[in-house]
A and B are shown apart, each in its own frame.
Chain A
Amino acid sequence: MTTTLNWKPALRHVFMILFSFLMVYPIVWWIGASLKDSTELSSPGIFPSVPQWENFTKGWNSVPGHTFTDFYLNTFGLEIMVLIATLLSCTLVAFGFARLDFPLKKFWFSILMLTLMMPGQVLIIPQYALFHQLGWVNTYLPFVVPHLLAGGAGGSFFVFLLIQFIRGVPKELDESAKIDGCSWFGIFWRVVMPLAFPAVVTVTIFCFLWNWDDFLGHLLYINTVDKYTVGLALRMINDSQSAAEWGQLLAMSLVSIIPATLVFIFLQKYFVDGIATTGIKG
């Protein structure tokens, strides 16, 4: 009896360990490969015989006239603007939907739910035409302005996530703040927002990640190398370099996933909460 009881979990763990290894093997190999020279690159072994640190230094400077420092500064600058815009707009909108009653609220809420499923690619052409007429092409405005209007990459999702969270904050707190003479904005800012902090962190994380990976958007609106984001720079060295420099390309690609990885490591709790409570994938 005891053997059958112990046998199954052990088997399950063996399976899970093998499976987890299979899942992360490409990434582990990637780390090793970024330090290999080109002759060694195609070996399935993880460790390079002699670590080629120059893959990183040469790769960092592989775009003529620029270094990856520029591209990271560009990307982080864009991200900061987008994050501030998103947090401002989405929290206000979510508070409105979660706490206030106004005419046609149900109607607008169902529209919000519909936009959650709206395929963004249907809108890129008219949006591009609009931003083109406004002279916003090759600026970061096509990313910042939609986020300021609770749109952009994942906007409706963030509003939805915040609504769900704010609904869980006890309404009695609003009531007592109201008695104390607090305005709606005061309730939003002093009562609800501090309590909605975990949801705000989740929104920040996903907004950061999705904008980091918004390759099509960057490709459309950013044309000159001095404004390039990391993704565009990677694509450029991918197109221009020969196979001999795979090591550098893999090294730079590896660096480009470090921000997401750090966010994940330090804020893991918020990830799982965010995914699980809304049922929407990350």
Chain B
Amino acid sequence: MNRSTTTLAQAAPSPKKSSYFKSRWNAPLAGYLFISPWLIGFLVLTAYPLFLSLYYSFTDYTLMQPMQWIGSRNYERIFTADPKFIQSAKVTVMYVLASVPLKLIAALLVAMVLSKAVKGIGFYRTAIYFPSLIGGSIGVSLLWRNIFGVDGIFNKLIAVFGIEGKSWITNPDTALGTLILLTVWQFGSTMVIFLAGLKQIPNDLYEASSVDGANKIVQFFRITLPMLSPILYFNLIMAVINAFQMFTSAFVITNGGPMNATYVYAMYLYERAFSRYELGYASALAWIMLVAIVAATLLISYTSKYWVFYETDTGGKKRK
């Protein structure tokens, strides 16, 4: 009986009034029961470890000995006397700056071509999506190591065009490039998201603008890009966060080499923590990574007001 009155009250024009007669929450206790697995997990496996690692970063913690508070000495060492930190940070920033834009641009361009092709779209989408399905696996990393080795097929293929091959993986100038290429090759899942986004753009926007004499390029910058910008924004942030943490392919394909040319930050973190068991020092490295990722995310979201367009914005122009 109680239920049916609530349903009626909800249908009534002033829903606010009904909340005076009803408790503010329909299930305070049951709600917490339902979310308790996540809540416990968050507190025990995310929040607490997060602060624990901040604490570790000010200690000389190893798994073997009792830890001692050493103040900011870990951080001082990292920033003043740790060439491997500088090298791994440099490699990671290069990797992020190259792989993320290339992947997003490839995804956007191919999505735009594909969105126009009505026939065969399923086939193309499958072919392009498939690499991103398997790309993160060890198997593909091993394949990559073979393809770009000195006897790999990549050299055989470019020899057809008269280019002399080399060992792309053992050459410090090109090793990181092969890893970036592996990442960009997996643009398919991002493309599927863009493809779904492109379908959401109302066709009359394009029709109206072509009546006004807009060409394809103007349409791209004035309609497609702004309409897609929220999706682009979200994917940019997720891609940056993931790229900062790149580990498997650098570990398996090049093992950080040659001459530390692919020694990404996560590999350095792994080595400090789990080869040398310097967990305090490695925690400091982890917090520096967190701060870098948060800073990058904030930077992107700060710039977003200049380029991300939401339909609730007044008028058809970007917010300034």
Contact = CB atoms under 8 A, between A and B. Distances in A.
Contacts of B283: 125-126
Interface string B32-47: 1111011111101110
A84 to B, nearest CB: 13
B137 A26 contact: no
A149 B38 contact: yes
Contact of A253 (B32, B139, B251): B139
Contacts of A178: 3
A16 B247 contact: no
Interface residues of B, number: 101
B189 A89 contact: no
B289 A122 contact: yes
21 contacts: A9-B116, A33-B146, A44-B156, A93-B35, A102-B28, A103-B25, A112-B42, A123-B53, A125-B282, A129-B52, A129-B279, A146-B45, A151-B42, A184-B27, A213-B136, A215-B138, A253-B142, A261-B133, A272-B192, A279-B235, A282-B189
B86 interface: no
B195 to A, nearest CB: 8
Interface of A: 9, 12-13, 15-16, 19-21, 23-24, 26-27, 29-30, 33, 41-44, 88-89, 92-93, 95-97, 100-103, 105, 108, 111-112, 115, 117-130, 132, 146, 148-151, 155-156, 159, 175, 178-179, 184, 188, 209, 212-213, 215-216, 220, 230-231, 234-235, 238, 246, 249-250, 252-254, 256-257, 260-261, 264, 268, 271-272, 275-276, 279-282
Contacts of B25: 100-103
Contacts, number: 281
Nearest to B116: A12
B63 A132 contact: yes
B45 A149 contact: yes
A220 B274 contact: yes
B146 A250 contact: yes
Contacts of A209: 133
Contacts of A235: 138, 252
B172 interface: no
Contacts of B196: 275-276, 279
A282 B132 contact: yes
B85 interface: no
A254 B146 CA distance: 13
Contacts of A29: 147, 153
